[in-house]
Each structure stands twice: as C-alpha cells, then as structure tokens.
Amino acid sequence: MVAEHVRNIIISTLQLDEDTQFEQDSPLLGAIAEFDSMAIVTVLTSLEESFDFTVDDDEISADVFETFGSLVNFVEAKI
C-alpha cells in the first residue's frame, strides 16, 4: 500500500515514534518540527528510490507537503 510505505519513509526520515499514525488530513509542513527543508529533500529522495520515479524541481511545492494525503496523492500520481 502506497500510504503505508510513505508513512514509513516519513517516520524513518524524521525519526518519529514507530507508532505515529497519519490520517489523510494530517498536516505535515509546519506541523512537525522535524519536517524542515532538509527532511523534505530526504523524503523526496527516498520516495524516488522506493517507487522508481523522478521529481522535477517545478513539481515541488508546499501544497504537496501540506497534508499526509496530499503527499500520498502526489506519489500515487507519479507512479
């Protein structure tokens, strides 16, 4: 499942508690202190490697990282 894999990447990258759960509308950017610009790059790189796609610079926006659901939707659209 894409959402579960995205969740695991976020938890691993941000070193969050393994029990952390995300709902579709769970806010990411601005809501999780660890989710800074470096974490975004690391998450994107992990997603690209895990799902075998490439993200162009012009595809990256705050909207993609606004909520867990928006990030999952972005990944699903890329694959």
42-58 residue pLDDT tens: 999 999 999 999 999 99
Q: Does pLDDT of 75 surpass 90?
A: yes
Residue-range definition of the domain harbouring residue 10: 2-78
pTM of the model: 0.93
Residue 41's pLDDT band, with cuts at 50, 70 and 90, is very high
Q: Does pLDDT of 33 surpass 90?
A: no
The runs of H, that is alpha helices, within the chain are 2-14, 37-51, 68-78
Radius of gyration for the chain, computed over Cα atoms and rounded to the nearest angstrom: 11
Phi, psi of 67 (to 5 degrees): -135, 165
Q: Return d(Cα 23, Cα 29) in angstroms, integer.
A: 14
Domain count for the chain, please give it: 1
Residue 13 is part of a domain; what is its CATH number? 1.10.1200.10
Structure letter (DSSP) for residue 32: S
Phi-psi region of 27 (alpha: psi -120 to 50; beta: other; left: phi over 0): beta
